[in-house]
Chain A
């Protein structure tokens, strides 16, 4: 009889004992897989938080002119770890259907103009982000939320409300119309000197989206762009990647990552503690499995001695024990994989808002994790069985047999 025949018979005929070992291995595999999935989620959560820290690189034209080219934006968006960019451009414009706030006694063009500030997002950069302006009513301009933000005094002067249409005209004769979506206020309006030309007055700063801006001026470029990254840790390397693009131009590059710096240490700690828990689970699993296998093998001392007395080689016995444990282990991994992909995936999905980030479309454990579990587990089973069976095989079979007889 070959070792695998004996192993197979042992597993099938000693059902309750095999079931116990199987359950133990199964529970531990499942726990480890679940723990890994949880840890993955933790990492995804922290990544998502990194992204929300608003860590950015700001490129700014030194003269405030709209000289940053659209091609550059496209190039930057291609870079890895760039999550989004916020383009800023500004230009004076003539009013179409409204009157700017004019205080200065002057007949220059600038004194009958307003300044249009185009943003992809008014919340994250510029005067709103710096709390110089605040929205009294309505919503900011954001990706997917276009519109126009006007100063409350300008709105008051013209009797504008949210929802009203505003028309602007450019020097080249083109016009553009948009809807007011927000009204803002600074508090500094009255502090302005009477000598300030209209286009520069706070009341006449009008925030628009890029679509409207481009209707008036085409894609001429941007005065600054904020490049947001989802990987703040490598901010400096991203900066190094961007620098060659703007070499030789009058563009300042600066970075901003305070919130990341503040959160980085404690958040990493959270991940580290979660990993530690997982390591703890694995260490305990290894120890307990080894001890269980030891207890197990000890109960089979006599059986082994009988086999030895029948002239079955120790190698064959070792292989038999290995085959038994190993096949149970394989079964348990398959079971754990099935359970964790069937239920755990669903559970994690419903529990965590960021779980999708962790495993994308794929629910359940990934192939690499299964493979790691399998390989690591095999090594552990190998070592544990080895450790537990060696003393039995090395023991004098005569002693074992006589001990049992007695």
Chain B
């Protein structure tokens, strides 16, 4: 088990009576692709943020490799253990394609970009000049470059057309299966949920 949520509860400080998550217990394993499924407001993005160390649970704990992620700096967790992919790509607009991937850290960007199918002519371009699918590939490349064992994606296909979306999903699956990473995708798409290894419905996670 690479990433584990233990008795995780979460509510907004401003709305204490409204629980977003309640006693969530779940363990994620490497080499598998998971989908968090549920309607808006079901807490799937919240859970993802907690797993990513962007926020801390009100109660309970998140373990990475059996250790508390808060044991060391959350920045460390974000930097070395996980990588994130967003619905709106969140590329830095003043950096080129290659530089955006470099932000991820450890790995050389060029081979990853090759693998992601971004041809060399785009490498030095401003990211805003790329199509949506290309931008999402760059975002995934950036996530891969960090060489983290867990890849978290929040609606990665939300802004993409169907064909491109399936490309991206295939890509993520390959990453899970070929590179042995744990890929967790937040989605509300039934099709996507059907194609992953494990589909988790938020209402089953105990609320």
- Give me the interface of A with B, judged by CB distance under 8 Å: 1, 6, 9-10, 13-14, 302-303, 306-314, 396-398, 401-402, 404-405
Separation in Å of the B103 CB from the closest CB of chain A? 6
A9 and B94 contacting across the interface, CB-CB below 8 Å = yes
Find chain A residues with CB under 8 A from B45 CB.
402
Contact of A311 among B78, B88, B92, B99 (CB under 8 A): B78
Find chain A residues with CB under 8 A from B105 CB.
310-311
Separation in Å of the A241 CB from the closest CB of chain B? 65
Find chain A residues with CB under 8 A from B46 CB.
398
Separation in Å of the B207 CB from the closest CB of chain A? 19
B92 and A306 contacting across the interface, CB-CB below 8 Å = yes
Find chain A residues with CB under 8 A from B103 CB.
1, 307, 310, 312
Chain B interface size, under 10 / 10 to 19 / 20 to 34 / 35 or more: 20 to 34
A13-B95, A311-B146, A314-B75 known; A397+B54 contact, CB < 8 A? yes
A396 and B94 contacting across the interface, CB-CB below 8 Å = no
Separation in Å of the A233 CB from the closest CB of chain B? 57
Find chain A residues with CB under 8 A from B84 CB.
309-310
Separation in Å of the A362 CB from the closest CB of chain B? 41
Distance of A404 Cα from B154 Cα, bound (Å): 13
Distance of A200 Cα from B43 Cα, bound (Å): 115
B75 and A1 contacting across the interface, CB-CB below 8 Å = no
Interface presence of B142 (CB below 8 A): yes
Contact of A401 among B77, B78, B86, B126 (CB under 8 A): B86
Distance of A310 Cα from B91 Cα, bound (Å): 11
Contact of B49 among A13, A311, A312, A398 (CB under 8 A): A398
B78 and A308 contacting across the interface, CB-CB below 8 Å = yes
Q: What sequence of 0s and 1s flags, for each residue 80-121 of chain B, a beta carbon within 8 Å of any chain A beta carbon? A: 100110111010111100010011110000000000000000
- Give me the interface of B with A, judged by CB distance under 8 Å: 45-46, 49, 52, 54-55, 73, 75-80, 83-84, 86-88, 90, 92-95, 99, 102-105, 126, 142, 146, 154
Find chain B residues with CB under 8 A from A13 CB.
93-95, 126
Separation in Å of the B101 CB from the closest CB of chain A? 10
Highest count of chain B CB atoms <10 Å: which of A1, A10, A306, A397: A306
B54 and A309 contacting across the interface, CB-CB below 8 Å = yes
Distance of A313 Cα from B73 Cα, bound (Å): 10
Distance of A1 Cα from B98 Cα, bound (Å): 11
Highest count of chain A CB atoms <10 Å: which of B77, B94, B103, B126: B94
24 contacts between A and B (CB under 8 A): A1-B99, A13-B93, A13-B94, A13-B126, A302-B90, A303-B92, A309-B54, A309-B78, A310-B79, A310-B83, A310-B104, A311-B79, A311-B146, A312-B79, A313-B73, A313-B75, A314-B75, A397-B55, A398-B46, A401-B54, A404-B88, A405-B86, A405-B88, A405-B154
Separation in Å of the A111 CB from the closest CB of chain B? 102
User: Quick one: closest B residue to A315, CB to CB?
Assistant: B75
User: Quick one: closest A residue to B155, CB to CB?
Assistant: A405
Distance of A254 Cα from B47 Cα, bound (Å): 91
B80 and A311 contacting across the interface, CB-CB below 8 Å = yes
Separation in Å of the A305 CB from the closest CB of chain B? 8
Distance of A396 Cα from B49 Cα, bound (Å): 10
A9 and B146 contacting across the interface, CB-CB below 8 Å = no
Distance of A398 Cα from B51 Cα, bound (Å): 11
B54 and A308 contacting across the interface, CB-CB below 8 Å = yes
Separation in Å of the B100 CB from the closest CB of chain A? 10
Contact of A9 among B90, B99, B154 (CB under 8 A): B99
Distance of A1 Cα from B79 Cα, bound (Å): 13
Find chain A residues with CB under 8 A from B78 CB.
308-311
Separation in Å of the A319 CB from the closest CB of chain B? 14
User: Quick one: closest A residue to B76, CB to CB?
Assistant: A311
A9-B99, A310-B142, A311-B146 known; A405+B87 contact, CB < 8 A? yes
Separation in Å of the A206 CB from the closest CB of chain B? 87
Distance of A10 Cα from B95 Cα, bound (Å): 8
Distance of A321 Cα from B185 Cα, bound (Å): 32
